[in-house]
Structure 1
Amino acid sequence: MKIFFPFFIFFIAFTGFSQTENNPIVWNSSINKISETEYDVVLKANLLQEWHLYSQYNPEGASQPLEIVIPENKTGYELIGKAIESETVKEFSEIWEKEEIFFKDNATITQRVKITDTSITSITIDVYGQVCKEACIQVEESFSFALDGKKLEKITIVLNFKSKKLTQNLKLDLKNTALLEVKTDNSDTGDSLFNIFLLGFVGGLLALLTPCVFPMIPLTVSFFTKQSQSKRKGILNAILYGVFIVIIYILLSVPFHLIDGLDPNILNTISTNIWLNIFFFVILVFFAFSFFGFYEITLPSSWGNKMDSASNVGGFIGVFFMALTLAIVSFSCTGPILGSLLAGSLGTVGNPAFQLSAGMTGFGLALALPFALFALFPNLLNSLPKSGGWLNTTKVILGFLELAFAFKFLSNSDLVGHWDFLKREIFIGIWILIFLGLALYLLGKIKFPHDSPIKKLSFFRISFGVLVIAFVIYLIPGTFKNPTWSLHSLSGFPPPQFYSIYEQESDCPLGLNCYKDFDEGLNAAKETNKPILLDFTGWACVNCRKMEENVWSNPEIYSILKNDYVLISLYVDDNEKELPASEQFDFVKANGKVKKIKSYGDKWSTFQVLNFKNASQPYYVLMNADLEILNTPQQYTDIETYKNWLEKGLDNFKK
């Protein structure tokens, strides 16, 4: 996972300043003609003593690697491979717990460029990276060259007075910032890769119990064990078949890493987009009705036929195409589950691309295990239940779950758009109807197109039906103004408790008094002489709701938040609520691109990254009214850790 740890600096319009701690790197550049269509751009960097510039090959999850790109508005030429680097140093970093690769003292970087349009007269390349000592400074350089060898003047982005002033206002003069650099232990985060892997694994197990996949297990295992020249080879082929299944599903997540590589926050950004969430809602409803049996979602039959023909090839290639054939022909059952996995990964806080890969790995592993297991122990095939109506029952149950999951995405759109139509109690009411429908189906009161006649209800259907009815009873108090019990086990799925059809004391979590503007909260802290709890949150943030409803609701923590802190909640995904025209401005990002700050979400997400070098939510910072950090930042965690964190902040405030 990429973690960016830069200290943003103001853009300087002059290039001829001396090398200092604020400017630890000085560049020289030149261009050499190799042929009529190829040039070498040579960049030489001199580094101040003890400062490091990180290589293109610095590992992911450590300091930001060097990146050389062509600006988006430039055409007519392309980069040939990665740049050639001069000697680098490898050294283990205790902060990142990785071996980092960097330049020391100086660096020479040679990038070959190919001209594809002979009419162009100049080229420009941008360089992004990071130089670090105790702190880190972002490298953002643009080099332009005339193709006759003359160097062109560097173009500098100039902001108008209003944008400069509002950008300056967004930047805080924080004190005790060393605490911001301390890594927070968030090993218990609810959206850890392991948890996502387990969810994917469960999804794969459910997919096994569908009519498209389950009957394939004995057929495929028998093919390998009987058609191979030896039993050993048959077992090896079956295991290889399982390995290829896992690889195929992991490969499905690769495009999302490429998208994420263009902008590390792009998937988190689109996950809070109103129209994307509506799209997921429509797709999941579409998937649900396919599981109900009203229609089938299949890939073109020609794909399956071509893969099936290719599977006749011998050796590893044939086994791979057999695995690919399974993935294609079973899509009508696995597609809806994979769609839910994709939607769930994009809707979580963290790195969605890696979460999706973890989920796909779990999904593929669950699908692959039976093929390898039964190949090793073929006698177990006799213990498998026979195919029948129970497989269709499993599909219909999954359809109800898809339908319930779909409304989570519609709720995200409603919250971010401030539409106020899918309030908490209405959402829970819809879930009550969905799961009541599932209970009636299990008890034989509702039938779908592919259901077999039920002569006698099985023990499984009755037992599962009773459990679903118990869940419905659990949900019902959630529609009351004063619930008999809270729905803590569902935290993050329904809208927050203050988003209610009933009149609430405030529109803040748990009825607390909070400010949704930083300056207003800061003034309140000065007047009351209380410390600040700065809460970076989001309307569509699942972990934020879990923290509020499971951790903040603890009586001791609730008392501390209510009496001892000034709470400032800034919603970074509030992109539908526009700032007044007088407060809208242009902001130059770290990569040199201009970002239009038009909404409150734009403002607070930029405010978080600019001052705290972090873009995840929930993200909590303790400070006093003099902008002095009181404790290390905190994220998703447990009650005891959060309580101790708040108390330590109070102690530091009193000192």
Structure 2
Amino acid sequence: MKYLYALLAWAMVAALPARAQDASEKAVSWQYSAEKKDAGTFLLHAKGTIEDGWILFSTTMPDTSVNSRLVVNTKGATITGIQEEGKLESRHDSVLDAEVRYFEHSVELVATVKANDSSTVLKGSVQYMVMKGAEVSSVIDNAFVATVAGGGAATAADDTSNKSLWWIFLACFGGGFLALLTPCVYSLIPITVGFFTKRSPTRAIGIRNAFFYSISIIVIYTFLGFLITRIFGPGALNALSSNAMANLIFFAIFLLFGISFLGAFELTLPGSWSNAADSKASAGNFGGIFFMALTLAIVSFSCTGPIIGNLLVLASKGGVIGPLVGMFGFSLALAIPFSLFALFPSMLNKLGKSGGWLNAVKVVLGLLELALALKFFSNADMAYHWHLLDREVFLSLWIVLFSITGFYLLGKIKFSHDSDLPYVSIPRLFFAIVTFTFVVYMVPGLWGAPLKGISGFLPHEGSQDFNLHRELTNLTAKIGSGGGTAVSDNTIKPKKYTDILESEIPGVETLFFDYQEAIAASKAAHKPLMLDFTGHSCVNCRKFEKSVLSDPQVMKVLHDDFIVASLYTDEKTELPESEQYVSKLDGTNVKNVGQSNADFEAVHFNRNSQPYYIPVDGEGSPLVSAGYGYDPKENVAAFLAYLESAKAEYKKRGK
């Protein structure tokens, strides 16, 4: 009944008119303070004044999906316990048909926080649900900054509505540089070089083109991102990266680029556009440059969409102007490296005039584009379980394409428009060596080798029919744990979605794909639950799984000490009609498993990106103050420490 109650509550929230939402946000006013208790221990106070007629749900509600909670976001800080001060009431609510525990008029939440002894501020948020009559609503993230007083308490103001736009700009600016490290963006740099090679015969024109290109990137990302956020909500961009139609369009674009580079045809603008572009080529036609920037924005969304989605959730807290400022920061960071690279295209023009090496570059780029096109098709294939491009098929195609590339570089394959190659130059020889080395590297993947270096590009290992590595990994985990399994009670083995989903976390045989099943297993097994928000088309998820989660120490801890639930945010399996609902976050209809998991992540953990790992107890309450997202440093020791802190907190709560 409590789960029905949770779903009903969220549905009621989503159905409320705008005026009711505004009223609920004013139902509780908060004052915050912090004090140092002893070395490394602080007390965080959140005093809430509740408007007459409203009730505030307790932090001890039996269903944690609707209870109140304090969250601390200060780096290195962890809440070890929360006490409530005030008159706690309880009753059976006829509207919700459930037992509710609540406060009226006032409440004070006092959290014990372990933090660095030199901490001077504690940052975080209060997340809570309120009710008035039959009206239910929640405030997801009421943010605060509390200054620590040495012996007494210092008041801190709520900064939700006044969140620093500079802070949003800098955070999104950093996200833009992070996006440059993703495979989809990085791989587009050679295409940009080829474009400016044609359009920039002189340095002056190159500088002008680079300026227009930068402005185009900023305009496209800033205004399109802003409009999509305002119209569809911050989750729209994150969902785009896993949308089948979008990925098929990206596949077609890369396929066309690849075939064109191989010499089958030339891509030209239609009609008068093409004539105008040719006539103004020496001036750096702005339309052509804008189109190139638009192409960058479109095809890179598969990798940048999750980053942008999370940044837009953050930026939305800056009010109406927040997403505009945030996306400007993101696009500015994205444009700077492309601009600097585009300032020197004339160097390639000069090199292109000597011999036929420039055509060889185009052919190699064409083969590379064909290989990248498969990645976009794979995204749609995995999300909808078509099984047309499983891992071994994908690898076979890549092995063939890069083998052709290697033989082409050695002059063993020649296209009709190629110049004669009387001998192999030293640069071509070394490129051929690198290419064939990559081919040899991929071959063991046909038998299940993890191939960590390219794991972000490949379909997940669960799609491979024969996977020797997976069998050995599971065996190693069994031996290391004495042969035990994550859950010993057969009655709580995972049931939902096991016919279409497989474990992607090495060494964990009993993996859940449904939150409610996982919570039940966590209670039965007396183990903490690790929520793994992931995605079929999530590049960074695959990289983290292969670089960190596959480490033997991490595997053993997850296998022995945790229940694990992988919640795919792009899984397209439709929910039963009785489980479909309207999101309280953005009012969209939640109809499939992926939408439900993505909505759950955004509502309960204020996140909209993957991977995201957050350990919770058997009631669903987080065991740490913040989850663990993608770590470009791939720090195994840091993730192990994170797991140990969650285990320690779970043990404390058990006592």
What is the TM-score normalised by the length of structure 1?
0.62
Aligned residues: 471
Match of 2:48 in 1: none
Kindly provide the amino acid, as one letter, of the partner of residue 24 in structure 1.
K
Kindly provide the amino acid, as one letter, of the partner of residue 558 in structure 2.
L
1:425 correspondence with 2:399: no
1:621 correspondence with 2:623: no
Match of 1:366 in 2: 341
The within-5 A match list for 1:21-170 is: 24=26, 135=126
Match of 2:576 in 1: 580
Match of 2:179 in 1: 196
Change beyond 3 A, Cα 1:568–1:197: closer
Match of 2:419 in 1: 452
Provide, for residues 307-364 of structure 1, a one-character-per-residue CA deviation record: whole Å limited to 9, x for no partner. Answer: 68789xxxxxxxxx92335x72897x99977764455434767459676664444323
Match of 2:464 in 1: 500
For the residue of structure 1 that corresponds to 2:388, the secondary structure is coil
The offset of 1:437, in angstroms, is 0.9
Distance 2:19 2:181 in 1: 55
Provide, for residues 534-556 of structure 1, a one-character-per-residue CA deviation record: whole Å limited to 9, x for no partner. Answer: 11111111111112111101111
1:206 correspondence with 2:173: no
Distance 1:403 1:269 in 2: 24
On the 8 A contact 2:507/2:555 being kept in 1, the answer is no
Larger Rg belongs to:
1
The offset of 1:586, in angstroms, is 2.7
1:488 correspondence with 2:484: no
1:389 correspondence with 2:383: no
For structure 2, the residue ranges without an aligned partner over 5 or more in a row are: 1-8, 33-72, 76-122, 141-145, 147-158, 164-169, 313-326, 475-501
Change beyond 3 A, Cα 1:442–1:557: same
Change beyond 3 A, Cα 1:556–1:95: closer
On the 8 A contact 2:258/2:366 being kept in 1, the answer is yes
Change beyond 3 A, Cα 1:8–1:585: closer
The offset of 1:475, in angstroms, is 0.4
Distance 2:186 2:389 in 1: 29
Change beyond 3 A, Cα 1:274–1:203: closer
On the 8 A contact 2:193/2:342 being kept in 1, the answer is no
Which of 516, 528, 545 matches 2:513? 516
On the 8 A contact 2:528/2:616 being kept in 1, the answer is yes
On the 8 A contact 1:197/1:359 being kept in 2, the answer is yes
The within-5 A match list for 1:284-295 is: 284-295=254-265
Change beyond 3 A, Cα 1:394–1:264: same
Distance 2:601 2:579 in 1: 17
Match of 2:535 in 1: 538
On the 8 A contact 1:294/1:449 being kept in 2, the answer is no
The offset of 1:403, in angstroms, is 0.8
The offset of 1:521, in angstroms, is 1.3
Match of 2:283 in 1: 322
On the 8 A contact 1:209/1:391 being kept in 2, the answer is no
On the 8 A contact 2:399/2:443 being kept in 1, the answer is yes
Distance 1:476 1:259 in 2: 42
Kindly provide the amino acid, as one letter, of the partner of residue 423 in structure 2.
K
Match of 1:630 in 2: 623
Distance 1:628 1:598 in 2: 26
Change beyond 3 A, Cα 1:386–1:208: farther
Change beyond 3 A, Cα 1:538–1:339: closer
Distance 1:449 1:351 in 2: 48
Kindly provide the amino acid, as one letter, of the partner of residue 416 in structure 1.
A
On the 8 A contact 1:245/1:324 being kept in 2, the answer is no
Change beyond 3 A, Cα 1:343–1:336: same
The offset of 1:293, in angstroms, is 0.8
Match of 1:243 in 2: 211
Distance 2:19 2:280 in 1: 63
Which of 602, 605, 610 matches 1:609? 602
1:596 correspondence with 2:579: no
Change beyond 3 A, Cα 1:447–1:495: same
Kindly provide the amino acid, as one letter, of the partner of residue 135 in structure 1.
V
Match of 1:640 in 2: 637
1:654 correspondence with 2:641: no
Kindly provide the amino acid, as one letter, of the partner of residue 277 in structure 1.
N
Match of 1:220 in 2: 202
Which of 241, 251, 259 matches 2:228? 259
The offset of 1:292, in angstroms, is 0.4
Provide, for residues 193-223 of structure 1, a one-character-per-residue CA deviation record: whole Å limited to 9, x for no partner. Answer: 214346799667634754x643665x424xx
Provide, for residues 108-157 of structure 1, a one-character-per-residue CA deviation record: whole Å limited to 9, x for no partner. Answer: xxxxxxxxxxxxxxxxxxxxxxxx99637899xxxxxxxxxxxxxxxx9x
Distance 1:572 1:440 in 2: 41
The offset of 1:305, in angstroms, is 5.1
Distance 1:389 1:363 in 2: 26
The offset of 1:261, in angstroms, is 3.8
Distance 1:395 1:337 in 2: 18
On the 8 A contact 2:528/2:650 being kept in 1, the answer is yes
Kindly provide the amino acid, as one letter, of the partner of residue 394 in structure 1.
V
Provide, for residues 556-575 of structure 1, a one-character-per-residue CA deviation record: whole Å limited to 9, x for no partner. Answer: 11110000001111112112
Distance 1:428 1:241 in 2: 38
On the 8 A contact 2:530/2:565 being kept in 1, the answer is yes
Match of 1:86 in 2: none
Match of 2:242 in 1: 272
Kindly provide the amino acid, as one letter, of the partner of residue 372 in structure 2.
F
On the 8 A contact 2:613/2:627 being kept in 1, the answer is yes
Distance 2:576 2:561 in 1: 32
On the 8 A contact 1:271/1:346 being kept in 2, the answer is yes
Distance 1:456 1:625 in 2: 68
Provide, for residues 57-88 of structure 1, a one-character-per-residue CA deviation record: whole Å limited to 9, x for no partner. Answer: xxxxxxxxxxxxxxxxxxxxxxxxxxxxxxxx
On the 8 A contact 1:304/1:328 being kept in 2, the answer is no
The offset of 1:259, in angstroms, is 2.5
Distance 2:124 2:461 in 1: 46
Distance 1:357 1:343 in 2: 19
Match of 1:282 in 2: 252
**RMSD of aligned residue pairs (Cα, Å):** 4.6
For the residue of structure 1 that corresponds to 2:413, the secondary structure is coil
The offset of 1:478, in angstroms, is 0.3
Distance 1:216 1:251 in 2: 21
For the residue of structure 1 that corresponds to 2:197, the secondary structure is coil
What is the TM-score normalised by the length of structure 2?
0.62
On the 8 A contact 1:498/1:508 being kept in 2, the answer is yes
On the 8 A contact 1:215/1:387 being kept in 2, the answer is no
Distance 2:245 2:338 in 1: 27
The within-5 A match list for 1:169-184 is: none
Match of 2:380 in 1: 413
Distance 1:260 1:391 in 2: 42
For the residue of structure 2 that corresponds to 1:214, the secondary structure is helix
Distance 1:133 1:268 in 2: 24
On the 8 A contact 1:245/1:323 being kept in 2, the answer is no
The offset of 1:644, in angstroms, is 0.8
The offset of 1:527, in angstroms, is 1.6
Distance 1:286 1:437 in 2: 19
Change beyond 3 A, Cα 1:476–1:192: farther
For the residue of structure 1 that corresponds to 2:623, the secondary structure is coil
Q: Which has the higher helix share?
A: 2
